[in-house]
Structure 1
């Protein structure tokens, strides 16, 4: 009896195991069936983009440094990228060594010009004083000659004549001295003017360099987040980088209240994109966030995609929401809604099959079995396709080819069914 019970139990276990194996195996191999949907159908284009501020303030080193002969400046210190600063906060410090040398040269030149100006003043004062003394002496000489001529009235004619000649000569010397004094005065004035101009130019140069030196310490012109600028090669400027005076930008302070997603659309899809289209935006760093946007700019000219033969067009998308967690350079996923078909019947793209270039069909589940049914398709997106004819809203279709149905005959649509679908 025990032996019979043991055998019966063993058989029962084998049957249970076989049943479990058969059921689980059939479940794994069961075809997936989906229902035909009806509703608003969105024709979309997917793209990856990068967040950028709509507006930003550029932060520059001293723009006038080029006028002093400086061509490049090295960044000695700089706050970390992403630092939130207030107006007046420290941003960066540039190397002043080259400009200090130019300041020393200018200061030495200033000392020299000041000495020359002082010397010109002294020379002018001395020369004009000597000229004035000479004029005064000659004036006395003329008066003396006049007295002598008056006293020679009763002298012989020769003596009188000699007195007249000496008086005339004294007057001529007096006139000449006064004319020379005017010339020397003008010469001294010109010399002093030249010395004053030279001194003023050097003094202005010194003041100009001192003013530029103040700009080698860069402070924030307003509150914001520091984003490093890029050099001509596209690399970010950072501590240790060299800034050139023809483009002394070191960073930007973006306005984070208005952001755009800059993306590039393949030339195959660019004709679908127009300004004003609605966009669903996702942020890779925050998968739970769902933002909305609007296409605000579509490039008219394409460009070559790096390391690819594909041509792309730049598209800018305005982010509607203001979010304090958004940061420049964050990656976005943009679903651009190009068009919406209302009350459209649609199925997943995986359900659709093709025979040649003209016939599209699906595997439809029916009460009597499976039908290989021709369908007339409309527009599609990345996941689904519109069905214009061949299916009804209550129908169910297979995501893959059912076993044994690959070589079955297609149930074709009638010409009237196709014409009716085309008229819709």
Structure 2
């Protein structure tokens, strides 16, 4: 038994030696990675930021009725171009019961005051004709009478306005007209809808929204890290999601003095005047991106940003420079402007230095296909 056990040990040992030798041979047969190099070069770099937002009309006006009532008829539709004074809709006046009752009471009070003033006037006129009172006293009495007459007229006019919407028409209908020229963007009401006039306690019902689509602005947001680099009148390039392969020139005209926190980041609102092209019809509300050039440098020394490495402890940038055949040494550098592809070299490199392409990967080897039975 001992002899057989020794023989088995010898066989296992020989097998292990065979596997180890094969592993060493296979390991040594693998080709080492051959690192290539690249050199620094002169170029121009632009640092840009992109603000997302939309294009909206510079001036947008909401048309509201002067009286409360029911929409009798609408004369325009969305997309129509209109001029100042054009008829938009007619509103059938439905008097407010509280206001109507108050107006009636005012008329009655005015009539009572007028009747009293008239009696006083008639009595004093008779005394004045007899020379009992002076001219000044009589004129004061006549003034009170005239004021009472005028108050009755005013109260009746107010009552008529509440009933009919105006003092001149016999029908309780009022017209809603455009206060500005432009394009009808939206008509949020329909025939038969009830509308409320604008007053101190209510904004009123919007009958139509009008805007001049020939004057558009870009409205977007930028991050707080970049807002300090923005200046009024900086040029923008605005691209619209609905119009491909076209960029519109724009000019920055507003930067919000206060930011708002959104999803953990502080965003600042910006606005830019967009210079439209007559060949394209730009609709209100198109989504848009504005490209803003924050800084530009020409004829500077740069390398591809992919060549950079960063120290694990200090996070300082460095590259590996060739000193011999497949031999490299670390070289700390100072970097500047970057556009995401190329980065400016402020110090640490020359155009003659050969920089290691450190992230080179080996090509994937294909497994040999096995013959199928």
TM-score, reference length from structure 2: 0.62
Question: What do the CA deviations read for 1:21-56 (whole angstroms, capped 9, x no partner)?
Answer: xxxxxxxxx9999886632211111110221333x2
Q: Is 1:44–1:382's contact at 8 Å kept on the other side of the alignment?
A: no
Task: Please report how far the alpha carbon of residue 194 of structure 1 lies from its aligned counterpart in structure 2 after TM superposition.
Answer: 5.9
Per the alignment, in what secondary structure is the counterpart of residue 312 of structure 1?
strand
CA RMSD, Structure 1 to Structure 2 (Å) = 5.1
In structure 1, what is the Cα distance between the partners aligned to 2:261 and 2:285?
A: 21
| Structure 2 match to 1:140 | none
In structure 1, what is the Cα distance between the partners aligned to 2:124 and 2:257?
A: 77
From 335, 341, 346, give the equivalent of 2:297.
341
| Structure 1 match to 2:150 | 197
The 3 A distance-change label for structure 1 pair 37 and 331 is farther
1:97 corresponds to 2:94 = yes
Q: Which runs of 5+ in 1 are unaligned?
A: 1-29, 133-176, 230-236, 405-424
From 225, 236, 239, give the equivalent of 2:183.
225
| Structure 1 match to 2:336 | 378
TM-score, reference length from structure 1: 0.55
Q: Is 1:42–1:338's contact at 8 Å kept on the other side of the alignment?
A: yes
From 281, 289, 304, give the equivalent of 2:261.
304
| Structure 2 match to 1:49 | 53
Per the alignment, in what secondary structure is the counterpart of residue 268 of structure 1?
helix
Alignment of 1:238-249 (within 5 A): 244-246=198-200, 247-248=203-204
In structure 2, what is the Cα distance between the partners aligned to 1:207 and 1:41?
A: 73
Per the alignment, in what secondary structure is the counterpart of residue 269 of structure 1?
helix
In structure 2, what is the Cα distance between the partners aligned to 1:309 and 1:111?
A: 64
The 3 A distance-change label for structure 1 pair 128 and 387 is closer
The 3 A distance-change label for structure 1 pair 347 and 257 is farther
Q: Is 2:92–2:173's contact at 8 Å kept on the other side of the alignment?
A: no
Alignment of 1:249-328 (within 5 A): 250=206, 252-305=209-262, 308-323=263-278, 324-328=280-284
Task: Please report how far the alpha carbon of residue 283 of structure 1 lies from its aligned counterpart in structure 2 after TM superposition.
Answer: 1.0
In structure 1, what is the Cα distance between the partners aligned to 2:73 and 2:246?
A: 36
User: Who wins on radius of gyration, i.e. which is larger?
Assistant: 1
Per the alignment, in what secondary structure is the counterpart of residue 274 of structure 1?
coil
Question: What do the CA deviations read for 1:66-96 (whole angstroms, capped 9, x no partner)?
Answer: xxxx7xx787876555443333334355563
Alignment of 1:3-42 (within 5 A): 38-42=42-46
Per the alignment, in what secondary structure is the counterpart of residue 50 of structure 2?
strand
Task: Please report how far the alpha carbon of residue 288 of structure 1 lies from its aligned counterpart in structure 2 after TM superposition.
Answer: 1.4
Greater strand share, structure number: 2
In structure 1, what is the Cα distance between the partners aligned to 2:151 and 2:250?
A: 62
Question: What do the CA deviations read for 1:214-248 (whole angstroms, capped 9, x no partner)?
Answer: 9953222343123459xxxxxxx655686642334
In structure 2, what is the Cα distance between the partners aligned to 1:216 and 1:367?
A: 92
Question: What do the CA deviations read for 1:292-349 (whole angstroms, capped 9, x no partner)?
Answer: 22222222322233xx232222222222344451232222111111110111244454
Q: Is 1:261–1:332's contact at 8 Å kept on the other side of the alignment?
A: yes
Q: Is 2:251–2:273's contact at 8 Å kept on the other side of the alignment?
A: yes
Greater helix share, structure number: 1
| Structure 1 match to 2:286 | 330
Per the alignment, in what secondary structure is the counterpart of residue 310 of structure 2?
strand
In structure 2, what is the Cα distance between the partners aligned to 1:191 and 1:203?
A: 19
In structure 2, what is the Cα distance between the partners aligned to 1:393 and 1:223?
A: 66
Q: Is 1:107–1:206's contact at 8 Å kept on the other side of the alignment?
A: yes
The 3 A distance-change label for structure 1 pair 321 and 35 is farther
In structure 2, what is the Cα distance between the partners aligned to 1:354 and 1:376?
A: 12
In structure 2, what is the Cα distance between the partners aligned to 1:38 and 1:57?
A: 49
